[in-house]
């Protein structure tokens, strides 16, 4: 296919690249996906990390994947099965007790009553408030943000998209303001009195967020984690049987069926740019050069990679305006995430609840209070690695027997507050093993004997995440989900509608609206914009 001018070239075969490719090819366009690794899926892949033990390597739990994408790509028909867990979370407490979250409103209320009658009473109102705002987000997820700079069109689009907000009652509008501006702690203090309850909800605020629950704006990250659904159940998180790779392998099959060409082991080295015809004009992205030296040409060049990777390394600085380059440098990345998989000979026995049970099937959060989370962040800011890290452990083999040999298990350890870059010239390659030990010790404190049950481990420091998946600063969302980097300002105000600063250049990854997570939304929306432009090009002759 080399030399032939395609309709679209997509840099990266992450799930958003695949979704974008699917919609373009389904509309009759000739599309080629160029993936650096030997497997599609980006941060949504399953790998065997020890003989007989497979697990999702990076992302590990599903909720945000858009139902429309699941339907359009017929992912269920291609074998994708997402199962819900009996309860969502289990939080061992410092006093030897525990809190369970989920399993239905009444059960959660009964559980909360052990901590605070008040918290149990207000829970339905809390859920209703969160749901009201989450519905607004759900409504915006598949819409293109207005592109600031497009004049009247922007104003009309902004007004249309603001209708969902305007329709909220005053209390709902206050909730929006709170969630978009406040810290998670301030927001949760307004609802609850028990520290355990606040931790159970506040954990979502620091997932993929190198920040304290006291950081203003962290309440929004909490909201971002509840706008999804599993099999129609809003706010729930589930497990994809076979791991996250099952999602992207089904996407790959959908792409191939509509004629997308997928090239693996095909890293892109540079975006090829035709200079502007006039001084001060816009250049045009016309194709890409691969590491192999091969050059490919396409009417649209669509980047699934994050904004920093695209603009800092794949485009020649001389092809971008200095002001734009400066803005890109200011785009915040680095979610402070450390990710491990472990193969286990047996289930962990928690001191607070040693018998096997539904808690083993839930997200086990080792961070009992917001104070603990704040200390972890401050520690990591100062020394790079928190002495008492925040660990979420999922044991997917308790709901999926395809991942480990009978009687044995795999666990995902998703750990937060590990500085993207270590201070004082220290290097992650020298400290990753010690950080992994610290994480295992953290679990061991709650479940004695855990360390001895570890048969093998797979480690991803922030630097490993960058090297393996191309995530700049190891950022799991392609960039911080802060108010200044959301919606029309994701990645940069004026380029928030999937179009880059060069003609023919588009973005379709998590660094665009609505941001990180396995959602498929950026890929879906970007395809719509590319198709709209292609229709316009045809009309314009």
Residues in touch with ligand FAD (CB under 6 A): 11-17, 34-37, 42-44, 58-61, 64, 267-268, 304-305, 309, 337, 339, 414, 465, 469-471, 476-477, 509-510, 516-518
| Residue 237 C-beta: closest distance to ligand FAD, Å | 8
DSSP assignment string, 45-82: -EEEEETTEEEESS---BS-S-HHHHHHTTTTTTT--E
Q: CA–CA separation, 536 vs 532, rounded Å?
A: 6
Residue 261 — left, alpha, or beta (φ > 0 → left; ψ -120 to 50 → alpha)?
Answer: beta
| Residue 24 C-beta: closest distance to ligand FAD, Å | 15
Q: To 5 degrees, how large is the angle CA 489–CA 490–CA 493?
A: 30
Query: CA of 507: how far to CAs of 111, 191, 305, 310, 448, in Å?
Result: 45, 39, 8, 9, 47
Q: 477, 508, 519, 513: which is closest to 66 by C-alpha?
A: 519
DSSP code, position 144: P
| Cβ-based nearer residue to ligand FAD, 172 or 228 | 228
Q: CA–CA separation, 414 vs 60, rounded Å?
A: 9
| Residue 331 C-beta: closest distance to ligand FAD, Å | 15
- Partners of 284 in the β-ladder: 274, 503
| Residue 203 C-beta: closest distance to ligand FAD, Å | 13
Query: CA of 266: how far to CAs of 38, 256, 272, 405, in Å?
Result: 8, 17, 16, 34
Q: Under 8 Å CB-to-CB from 448, ≥6 apart: which residues? A: 349, 351
| Cβ-based nearer residue to ligand FAD, 34 or 380 | 34
| Cβ-based nearer residue to ligand FAD, 75 or 196 | 75
| Cβ-based nearer residue to ligand FAD, 250 or 309 | 309
| Residue 141 C-beta: closest distance to ligand FAD, Å | 13
| Residue 251 C-beta: closest distance to ligand FAD, Å | 10
Contact 431, 362 (CB under 8 A): no
| Cβ-based nearer residue to ligand FAD, 129 or 314 | 314
Q: 524, 515, 457, 510: which is closest to 43 by C-alpha?
A: 510
| Cβ-based nearer residue to ligand FAD, 35 or 195 | 35
Radius of gyration of the chain (CA): 23
**Residue ranges in 338-488 assigned as alpha helix (H):** 370-383, 428-446, 450-453, 462-469
Instruction: Count the alpha carbons within 13 Å of 323 in the hemisphere toward its beta carbon.
Output: 5
| Residue 349 C-beta: closest distance to ligand FAD, Å | 25
DSSP H or E segment with residue 274: strand 268-274
Query: CA of 471: how far to CAs of 39, 122, 205, 394, 522, in Å?
Result: 16, 40, 20, 23, 16
| Residue 146 C-beta: closest distance to ligand FAD, Å | 22
| Residue 7 C-beta: closest distance to ligand FAD, Å | 18
| Cβ-based nearer residue to ligand FAD, 129 or 250 | 250
| Cβ-based nearer residue to ligand FAD, 12 or 146 | 12
| Cβ-based nearer residue to ligand FAD, 306 or 348 | 306
Contact 288, 34 (CB under 8 A): yes
Q: E-strand spans in 35-175?
A: 46-50, 53-56, 82-84, 89-92, 98-101
| Residue 72 C-beta: closest distance to ligand FAD, Å | 16
Cα dihedral value 182, 238, 467, 12, nearest 10: -100
| Residue 152 C-beta: closest distance to ligand FAD, Å | 31
> Is beta strand 229-230 parallel, antiparallel or unpaired with respect to 284-290?
unpaired
| Residue 195 C-beta: closest distance to ligand FAD, Å | 25
Q: To 5 degrees, how large is the angle CA 500–CA 275–CA 269?
A: 65
Backbone torsions φ then ψ of 100, nearest 5 degrees: -110, 140
| Cβ-based nearer residue to ligand FAD, 418 or 469 | 469
| Cβ-based nearer residue to ligand FAD, 34 or 399 | 34
Contact 496, 506 (CB under 8 A): no
Q: CA–CA separation, 9 vs 7, rounded Å?
A: 7
| Residue 156 C-beta: closest distance to ligand FAD, Å | 29
């Amino acid at each position: 296919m080399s030399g032939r001018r395609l309709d679209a070239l997509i840099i990266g075969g992450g799930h958003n690249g695949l979704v974008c490719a699917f919609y373009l090819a389904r509309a009759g366009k000739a599309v080629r996906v160029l993936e650096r690794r030997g497997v599609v899926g980006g941060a949504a892949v399953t790998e065997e990390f020890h003989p007989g033990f497979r697990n999702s390597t990076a992302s590990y739990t599903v909720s945000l994947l858009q139902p429309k994408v699941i339907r359009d790509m017929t992912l269920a028909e291609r074998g994708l099965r997402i199962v819900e867990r009996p309860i969502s979370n289990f939080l061992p407490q410092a006093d030897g007790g525990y809190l369970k979250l989920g399993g239905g409103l009444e059960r959660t209320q009964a559980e909360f009553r052990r901590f605070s009658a008040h918290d149990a009473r207000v829970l339905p109102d809390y859920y209703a408030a969160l749901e009201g705002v989450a519905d607004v987000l759900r409504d915006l997820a598949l819409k293109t943000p207005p592109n600031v700079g497009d004049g009247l069109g922007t104003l009309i689009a902004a007004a249309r998209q603001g209708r969902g907000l305007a329709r909220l009652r005053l209390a709902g509008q206050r909730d929006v303001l709170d969630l978009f501006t406040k810290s998670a702690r301030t927001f949760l203090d307004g609802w609850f009195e028990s520290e355990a309850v606040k931790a159970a909800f506040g954990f979502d605020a620091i997932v993929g967020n190198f920040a304290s629950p006291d950081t203003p704006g962290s309440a929004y990250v909490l909201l971002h984690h509840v706008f999804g659904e599993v099999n129609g159940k809003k706010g729930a998180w589930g497990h994809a049987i076979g791991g996250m790779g099952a999602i992207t392998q089904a996407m790959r099959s959908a792409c191939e069926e509509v004629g997308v060409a997928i090239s693996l082991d095909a890293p892109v080295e540079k975006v090829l740019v035709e200079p502007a015809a006039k001084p001060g004009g816009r250049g045009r992205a016309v194709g890409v050069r691969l590491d192999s030296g091969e050059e490919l040409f396409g009417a649209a060049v669509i980047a699934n990679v994050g904004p920093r990777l695209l603009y800092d390394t794949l485009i020649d600085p001389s092809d971008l305006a200095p002001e734009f380059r400066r803005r890109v440098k200011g785009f915040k990345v680095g979610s402070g995430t450390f990710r491990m998989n472990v193969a286990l000979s047996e289930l962990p026995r928690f001191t607070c609840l040693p018998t096997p049970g539904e808690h083993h099937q839930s997200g086990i959060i080792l961070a009992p209070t917001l104070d603990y989370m704040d200390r972890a962040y401050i520690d990591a800011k100062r020394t790079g690695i928190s002495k008492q890290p925040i660990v979420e452990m999922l044991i997917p083999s308790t709901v999926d027997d395809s991942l480990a040999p009978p009687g044995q298990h795999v666990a995902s350890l998703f750990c937060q507050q590990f500085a993207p870059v270590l201070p004082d010239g220290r290097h992650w390659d020298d400290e990753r093993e010690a950080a992994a030990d610290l994480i295992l010790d953290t679990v061991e404190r709650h479940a004695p004997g855990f360390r001895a049950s570890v048969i093998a481990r797979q480690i991803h420091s922030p630097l490993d995440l960058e090297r393996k998946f191309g995530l700049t600063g190891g950022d799991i969302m392609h960039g911080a989900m802060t108010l200044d980097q959301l919606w029309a300002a994701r990645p940069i105000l004026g380029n928030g509608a999937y179009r880059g600063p060069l003609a023919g250049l588009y973005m379709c990854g998590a660094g665009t609206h609505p941001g990180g997570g396995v959602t498929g939304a950026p890929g879906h929306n970007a395809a719509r914009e590319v198709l709209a432009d292609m229709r316009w090009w045809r009309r314009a002759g």
